[in-house]
């Protein structure tokens, strides 16, 4: 397996993997509204290619703000159905979270199943509001530095890396 940063040449293959692994309506989810017109955090968008050069797994991260504080929005992450159960998703999670910490990010947010993501330290964020119609029980966070989520609360909004002010998401004031 070869792990490397996603490039423009990988985009169509990675999108095809996400289409294969997720429902056709995945882009209607509120997390996708946070990604619109925002560049992903390129240093954390990783592709894992198998021995034949095919995309076996991929992960992306996006900058967001929570109550005006910067955070990473993890996702999507996907492993090709023929490679699931090999630990590739876990490897991508561990490696990308290590890289995020090395780059100075303090907190990571995702929407997912707590029993699954708990193994990497993610826990429910009761004080964080994703745009509707996100189920609040699925809003999870991980502190990359101690106490990083203690003061970060409120609405999750779209923002660009280095932005000083987040912009509202559709329907947000």
Domain assignment present for 109: yes
**73 within domain boundaries:** yes
Quick check: is 167 in a domain?
no
Condensed to tens digits (0 to 9), the pLDDT of residues 62-77 reads 999 999 899 999 989 9
Q: Tokens 């925002």 correspond to what residue? A: 38
Separation of alpha carbons 170 and 130, rounded Å: 12
Q: Is residue 48 part of a domain?
A: yes
Within a domain: 83: yes
The tens digit of pLDDT for each residue in 80-104 reads 999 999 999 999 999 999 999 999 9
Question: Is residue 79 one of the residues assigned to a domain?
Answer: yes
Which CATH number do you get for residue 86?
Answer: 3.40.630.30
Instruction: Give the range of the structural domain holding residue 72, as residue numbers without chain letter.
Output: 2-158
In whole angstroms, give the CA distance from residue 11 to residue 103.
23
Q: What is the DSSP letter of 42?
A: G
Flag whether 150 is in a domain: yes
91 within domain boundaries: yes
How many domains does the chain fold into?
1
| Averaged pLDDT for residues 28-57 | 86
DSSP-assigned beta bridge partners for residue 124: 140
Q: Give which of 80, 74, 124 is closest to 99, Cα–Cα.
A: 74
């Amino acid at each position: 397996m070869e792990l490397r940063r996603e490039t423009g040449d990988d985009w169509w293959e990675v999108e095809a993997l996400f289409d294969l692994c997720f429902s056709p309506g995945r882009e209607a989810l509120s997390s996708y509204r946070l990604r619109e017109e925002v560049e992903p955090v390129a240093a954390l968008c990783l592709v894992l290619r198998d021995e034949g050069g095919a995309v076996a797994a991929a992960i992306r991260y996006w900058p967001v703000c929570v109550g005006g504080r910067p955070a990473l929005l993890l996702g999507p992450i996907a492993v090709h159905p023929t490679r699931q159960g090999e630990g590739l998703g876990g490897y991508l999670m561990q490696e990308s979270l290590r890289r995020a910490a090395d780059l100075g990010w303090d907190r990571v947010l995702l929407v997912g199943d707590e029993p699954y993501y708990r193994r990497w330290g993610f826990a429910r964020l009761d004080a964080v509001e994703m745009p509707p119609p996100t189920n609040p029980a699925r809003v999870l966070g991980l502190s990359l530095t101690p106490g990083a989520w203690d003061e970060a609360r409120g609405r999750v909004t779209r923002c660009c890396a280095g932005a000083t002010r987040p912009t509202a998401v559709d329907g947000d004031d």
